[in-house]
Structure formats: structure tokens, C-alpha cells
Amino acid sequence: MSAAGVLSAVFWGVVTLSLLVFVHEGGHYLAARAFGVRVTEFFLGMPCRARLSRKLERYGTEVGVTPILLGGYTRICGMEGEQDELLARAFSVVQREGRVSAAALADELGCDVDRSYGLLATLSDWAAIRPYYDASKGERESQGAYPEQFETLRRDAAFLTEYDRAHDFSQPGTTGAGDPRPLDCDAEAALERERARTYLGCGFWKRVCMLVAGPLVNVALAFVLAVSAFCVVGQQVVVDSNVIASVTEGSLADEAGLEAGDAIVRIGDAEVTDWSDLVDAVRQYLTPGSSVEVGFVRDGEAMTTTIEVSEGEGQLLGVNAQTTTYRPGVLEASRWAVDYAGLVATFAARLIVPTQTMQVLDSSTSIVGISVMASQAALQGPMSVVSLLAAISMSLGFMNLLPIPPLDGGKILIEVIQAAMRRPLSVRAQSVVSYVGIAFFAFVFVVVLRNDVSRLLIGW
């Protein structure tokens, strides 16, 4: 592949995957906001210090783009951290002081500094407080570690933050970030109120809806794109005619002198009027050592030739049927799209069937293959790009529903297990399960990447 071809493949691969992952994350974002869950960030591109963004005035979410265009991400509050009996007291102290260091909090709560940082990190993940970066100490938001201090958020008279619905900072009683804002109720009740505005504070079904929203948006997008492609581009269907569209070079038909445009009218004693007749009539004569006389019309002149099959293996005749473009209506195209979705879902499900895993992987492609296909589709025209986007989005949606952490389906599986146990899984148990899932996908990535490189070396 030339340098220009590589650059084209990289460009279109990045664009395709970034847009589809961004759409996927958009599903999670919209579901979270619909349930009143705080979302602090929604970005096109992977997390990076350099970014272009703006805050949504209504929801406080920072929306933007980073230069690492390899997907996207959404930070939904309450998906990290763990419960601690000191959380309520920690929240109360920060609200009372306005700004407090992890060391000072540890002294007041009678715990070690590491636990204090854990409490503050969990409250920050809930968007109940935030880290305070002191420039005079050389601290900055882009640093890898938490700063020494944490502070209150801006809250209105009803104790709502910028991430909560219906907040109104124009009313009297609003306090700024870093200002003391003592709790207006019992510490445990105040903590539960904050928790209710996070993923963790939602019920089972709401959490499942937030997790499944990303894959469903991908599937829905794929469905719309597929229906559009079917209706606009159409589908190539065989014309039931006895006229040959083309002849395969070196085939039996080619050796017998048949050409494109010839109309087959007889094979042996059987008359041929359409393609179905031709297929039925020729089948019995394709055994080794057989021969048959074929009658055909070329430019209005009746002619004959003999098809001879050599000894050894049977062969194909080597003629191709005429095709035409059939453009279905929206309802029929929708049925086609549903059938296609069923095939993709079945293919994805086979990945976790041990006896079929390798067979599925041999038919799969990595980001390298996707990039090459995206580049080729871009050269073929807009509708080719649309068709490819539909296929990848459909695959992305169903793959993410597989019950393998850290995919959305794996997180749903953990939610189901926790619901059945009536208690949360420990962070350690969830980490072990996630590591197993990551190891599996590392294996998948290596196999499909090897397949793609092999295909590129021998010609795509």
C-alpha cells in the first residue's frame, strides 16, 4: 500500500470509528440526563489534557473534542468509587469548611490520609465537591494526581449544583465554589440526596437503561442508515433471463466459445427460456467426462457448441446471470434491515461460544481492516460510506451487548448478579472480572490484527 493509501486509510478509519463511538457515548449521555443523573464530561476523542470545549449552561456538562480522535467518552457520576461509612461526615466537613485538605479531613475523621483521599475522590466522582488546584503550589488540573485540597461546588438556594436540573444561580441564597455551605439537613440525608443524582443512586432498571442506551443507539443508527442505503442504492438481483451477462475466463463456457450477450435456448434436449431453466438443465452435465450440445442465439443467428467436461473433478459452467438494481420501499427495506440485524447479532453471539470463537475471529476485522474498508468506501462514493457505517455501527452495538466486562453487556451482567445477590460486588471482585474480560479482548485484538495484516500482505 502506498503512503497516500496508508494516510487515507488512517484518516477514514479514525473518522469512522470516532463518529460511531461518539454516537454510542451519546446514547449513554442522553439516558443519564433523562434520569437526572449528573454528567460532567461528554467528548469526541479520548481523554487528553489538550481539548476544545464549552460548558452547557443548562446541565453543566463540559462538551468538546480532544486531539486523540480514537472514539469518545462520557463521565457519568457515580460509576466509580466505593461506599464508605465516613462519606456522610466527609461531605459535611467539606460543606462546613468550604475548602479542606485531605490531611485535615483525615485528622477530623480519625482515619489515614489514603482513606481520606478515597472519600474525597468518591464525592468528586459524584460531582458533590470538586478538587481545588492551587496554582501557588504548582498544582494544575492536567496533573495526574489529586491536589491537596477539595472544595464545595457552586450551589443555588435549593442546594442544586450546575449539574442538576432546574438549578437557578440568579436567586438569593446562591453560594460560590469554595464558599462554606453548611448542610440544611442531617448528614446522612444530605449524602443520600447527592447519591440519588448519580448512577449509583438509581434503581436497577435505570442503571440497565443507561448501560444499554449506547449499544441501542448504535443499532438504531445502523438501522436508519441501512434502510436509507437499501432504498437509495438498492440491491442487485438476478434477472430471470436466458441471456448471458458475462463469461468467466478459462471456464467451460469460455472454452466452448460462449460470449456475453449470447442467449442460451437449448442444453441437450432441454429447452431454455430463462435463467432457472438454464441452471436446472446444465446441472446434470457437469460431471467429469460428460459432454452436452448447447444451442444459443448470437446477434439473431442460431448457433450450437459443445460443452465438454474433462476427466477428474467436476467444474462450473462459468456463465454469469444478468442483474438489475431493485430499490425496495421503506417497509420492505426495514424488513431487510431487521433480517440483517439478526445475522449480525447471531454472529456476535457466536464469539462467546468456545467451539465457534476462532471461526468468528477468522471472519472478523480489526481497526486496520476497518480503516482500509472505510478508505475504499470513501473512494466509491457517499452511499458506500453510508453502507459501511451501517455495518460497523450494527456490529459495534451488538458486540457491546456481549456479557463480557468491560463492555456494556458485561456491566449489565454485574448489575444482574448484584440484583440477584441483593448486595453490591466488591470492587476487588469487579476488578478481577474486568481483568479477565480485558485479557479476552486482548486475545481477540491480536488474532484479528494478525488476520488483517496477512490479508494486506497478500492483497486485500
Question: In the chain, what are the domain boundaries?
Answer: 87-198, 206-235+328-458, 238-324
Q: Where are the alpha helices (DSSP H) in 272-311?
A: 275-283
| Cβ neighbours, 10 Å, residue 221 | 22
Give the dihedral sign, CA 283/289/293/299: positive
Given a cut of 90, whether residue 149 has pLDDT beyond it is yes
pLDDT at 286: 81
Sorted by sequence, the CB contacts under 8 Å of residue 353 that are 6+ apart come out as: none
Assign domain 238-324 to its CATH superfamily.
PDZ domain (2.30.42.10)
pLDDT in tens, 192-215: 999 999 999 999 999 999 999 999
Q: How far is CA 214 from CA 29, 176, 358, in A?
A: 8, 35, 27
C-alpha cell of residue 28: 449513554
Which of the following CATH numbers is that of domain 87-198: 1.10.10, 1.10.3430, 1.10.357, 3.40.50?
1.10.10
The Cα–Cα gap between 26 and 73 comes to 9
Mean pLDDT of 118-136: 95
Given a cut of 70, whether residue 5 has pLDDT beyond it is no
Q: Which residue has the higher pLDDT, 275 or 429?
A: 275
The Cα–Cα gap between 149 and 98 comes to 10
The Cα–Cα gap between 35 and 200 comes to 12
Highest mean pLDDT out of 44-53, 120-129, 429-438: 120-129
pLDDT at 1: 54
Q: Return the DSSP state at 243.
A: B
Mean pLDDT of 69-78: 89
pLDDT in tens, 216-264: 999 999 999 999 988 988 888 888 899 999 999 888 899 899 999 999 9
43: phi then psi, degrees, rounded to nearest 5: -130, 145
Q: Are strands 62-65 and 39-44 parallel, antiparallel or unpaired?
A: parallel
Given a cut of 90, whether residue 335 has pLDDT beyond it is yes
pLDDT in tens, 318-334: 899 998 888 999 999 99
Stated pTM of the model: 0.82
Indicate if 238-324 has the same CATH topology as 87-198: no
Q: Are 238 and 322 in contact (CB under 8 A)?
A: yes
Q: Return the DSSP state at 258.
A: -
Mean pLDDT, the chain, as a whole number? 89
Q: Are 239 and 322 in contact (CB under 8 A)?
A: yes
pLDDT at 457: 62
Q: How far is CA 270 from CA 266, 267, 274, 279, 321, in A?
A: 6, 5, 12, 11, 19
